[in-house]
Structure 1
């Protein structure tokens, strides 16, 4: 009898309803602030919730109670739309001043084709006699289930795998870019997005293995497939919470995607001329760091330092990369680590915590400080204090 609230349906129902709440919150925020990443994430959650709803109502007894339901016409593999949607979401978050281009609609060509095909066979079957007394019409059985679904099973997995590969590449390229532009990157690393990509990949692998086992070895019933749906429902809720409460709009206001030798500072581009790397450039940068202690600014980025040095961003980047053999992040943080060591020698740790000293030296998070210090000295801050100063 529908609805049947049981141990299979109730957990999915609770998680799906919470997921739909975040769908509504994200779409409402998009309508208010027009941040396109909210739209993408809201649609991602909507797709996953739709998939979970189809299973949830099944566990609640819908298909037993309403045996002529036409839901099978609309049980579409969401991966062909979900994978490109995730790719564009990551792109919208990690690209400065992202704008949706008309060519991006091509990412959804396969999804739209499948939707049109399903609507067509539903329309044809609905016009046939006796359609209201059966669950599946002629084309659904003789065409879709006999041929098309098998073909789609061979298309969907490679399709999703390709998009996952491109999405991970996009994300790691972003990680490489920010160390060329920002001195403190922890808040910009978007670690929760990496977790989301990993979880989605695990769900994809789980689903692929499940489909292989179900089609070639043993018949898997709804209860055996319940675990994947539970996992996806939990991932949906996690993504909804993190995506809604994490501010990713800061990147949209920054222009850090540049080619070092060609891009100048936008706001003062007419006042600068491109120059080759010289000893003067190197001396200017050293003076800013050693005498003016520009590294003490925790928000220091390439554009800020370029303005101070009267250089273009591209010129400054080339000066640091070639003149000091470091990226911008390592270059600035090496001065901060040196300042930290100097303060330890002055016994500042007797007055301040190690984190307090680190903040005095320009670091803005414990995670960044610990990681950078370990990278540049091969010691943790505590190990360095015990080993080097005692």
Structure 2
């Protein structure tokens, strides 16, 4: 008997999601990058979702008619999604922290999930039916689904907390682009959590109203949204510029043996300003404390100390000051009359309209448009 699988439009979408998800999963796990340790955790999240999608498609095309024991293959690891997502964010924001043996306790619920799988296989073997039609599956799978939802929500909350703490800890070391990347990941985690919350009414209605008799097709929208959201996170994480974290200052760097005097700090700060003005580093919209330190052949912590103690500013404030001055200079130059304010801002190193408007008003005392209008009204000498 030749297999004749009944593949519908949803199955084609699932197969596409499986292919794309598996591709990004392998790229995240295998590609050598700065954030490779963190990316491996995210790659495993994608792989977990991909295997789940394989399980859905296999049931939908009735694979058991041709390969009765395929359901014995462990394809569901939903209780690992939350911990993997949290460790992705944790490793992204604190790459220097090693994985400790105690950290593996976060994955202990997986043992429960696999124990249930073994019981399902046992019943499946005795009754010659697929594992997803066994009585054990009908009784316990809704509970595992709710546990997975709780796990994802709890760990997503912890990941959000970690990201927000990261923003505050390194507020003076992140460029606008890096700050935007962190906010983007926070928003995506919120959306991911909301998607799992939407799973709760599905599970409750199926269990209490339909006595867990709803077909898998009823869950198609949620499965597709889950696949789309997961692939989106993976694609964005792989294709976006990587988040570079300046390594934390070690104790011996906090209190160096030879402390610079105030005069030496002021002299070094003036040298720094000369370098910025001569090389126009601030025009680079992706400039970070680390990249500037590398250009000046300094350790990032030493550069941060020079900026903080020598200028009384943090890195972002200092660089934005130069960018605002550059914008003001170009506003007064007739050569730039045909360029929009946003175009001038981008040409001066800003890469966000919101940041430009806020920073300009903080430094100048009025918004860019008002300042430009005041230049037109000023009498020419």
TM over 0.5, shorter chain: yes
Match of 2:101 in 1: 102
Match of 2:309 in 1: 319
Map of 1:66-85 to 2, 5 A cutoff?
Answer: 69=69, 71=71, 74=74, 76=76, 78=78, 80-85=79-84
Q: Which residue among 214, 233, 242 is the counterpart of 1:239?
A: 233
Structure 2: runs of 5+ lacking an equivalent: none
Q: Are the aligned partners of 1:41 and 1:89 in contact in 2 as well (CA < 8 Å)?
A: yes
Superposition deviation, residue 137 in structure 1: 10
Query: TM (normalized to structure 1)?
Result: 0.73
The alignment status of 1:198 with 2:190, answered yes or no, reads yes
Superposition deviation, residue 55 in structure 1: 1.5
Match of 1:174 in 2: 166
Q: Are the aligned partners of 1:9 and 1:57 in contact in 2 as well (CA < 8 Å)?
A: no
Match of 2:331 in 1: 344
Q: 1-side partners of 2:274 and 2:75: how far apart?
A: 66
Match of 1:86 in 2: 85
Superposition deviation, residue 181 in structure 1: 1.6
Structure 1: runs of 5+ lacking an equivalent: none
The alignment status of 1:301 with 2:289, answered yes or no, reads yes
Superposition deviation, residue 152 in structure 1: 3.5
Q: 1-side partners of 2:68 and 2:165: how far apart?
A: 50
Match of 1:51 in 2: 52
Deviations 1:62-103 (A, max 9, x none): 35x35955627846461x201111111122223344544433
CA 1:258 to 1:348, structure 2 compared with 1: closer, same or farther past 3 Å? farther
Q: 2-side partners of 1:370 and 1:24: how far apart?
A: 36
CA 1:224 to 1:274, structure 2 compared with 1: closer, same or farther past 3 Å? farther
Match of 2:156 in 1: 164
Q: Are the aligned partners of 2:293 and 2:300 in contact in 1 as well (CA < 8 Å)?
A: no
Q: 2-side partners of 1:75 and 1:236: how far apart?
A: 17
Deviations 1:226-252 (A, max 9, x none): 10111122223323332332342x62x
Q: 1-side partners of 2:301 and 2:43: how far apart?
A: 42
The alignment status of 1:255 with 2:253, answered yes or no, reads no
Superposition deviation, residue 208 in structure 1: 2.2
Q: 1-side partners of 2:169 and 2:335: how far apart?
A: 35
Q: Are the aligned partners of 2:96 and 2:247 in contact in 1 as well (CA < 8 Å)?
A: no
Deviations 1:181-207 (A, max 9, x none): 24x331464255335323322321221
CA 1:173 to 1:347, structure 2 compared with 1: closer, same or farther past 3 Å? farther
Q: 2-side partners of 1:40 and 1:168: how far apart?
A: 16
CA 1:2 to 1:192, structure 2 compared with 1: closer, same or farther past 3 Å? farther
Match of 2:361 in 1: 377
Q: Are the aligned partners of 1:179 and 1:185 in contact in 2 as well (CA < 8 Å)?
A: no
Match of 2:206 in 1: 214
CA 1:308 to 1:69, structure 2 compared with 1: closer, same or farther past 3 Å? closer
CA 1:317 to 1:102, structure 2 compared with 1: closer, same or farther past 3 Å? farther
Superposition deviation, residue 125 in structure 1: 4.3
Q: 2-side partners of 1:223 and 1:93: how far apart?
A: 37
Q: 2-side partners of 1:335 and 1:233: how far apart?
A: 44
* Aligned CA-pair RMSD: 4.2
CA 1:137 to 1:47, structure 2 compared with 1: closer, same or farther past 3 Å? closer
Q: Are the aligned partners of 1:374 and 1:381 in contact in 2 as well (CA < 8 Å)?
A: no
Count how many residue pairs are aligned between Structure 1 and Structure 2. 362
CA 1:335 to 1:256, structure 2 compared with 1: closer, same or farther past 3 Å? farther
The alignment status of 1:264 with 2:249, answered yes or no, reads no
Q: 2-side partners of 1:222 and 1:125: how far apart?
A: 21
Partner of 1:89, secondary structure, is: helix
Q: 1-side partners of 2:146 and 2:16: how far apart?
A: 33
Partner of 1:84, secondary structure, is: helix
Match of 1:121 in 2: 119
Partner of 1:168, secondary structure, is: helix
Deviations 1:321-346 (A, max 9, x none): xx84x643234313421342244234
Partner of 1:179, secondary structure, is: coil
Match of 1:223 in 2: 217
Q: Are the aligned partners of 1:125 and 1:137 in contact in 2 as well (CA < 8 Å)?
A: no
Superposition deviation, residue 360 in structure 1: 6.5
Deviations 1:270-308 (A, max 9, x none): 6x5457xx9758855764576654694233527839988
Q: Are the aligned partners of 2:18 and 2:54 in contact in 1 as well (CA < 8 Å)?
A: yes
Match of 1:186 in 2: 177
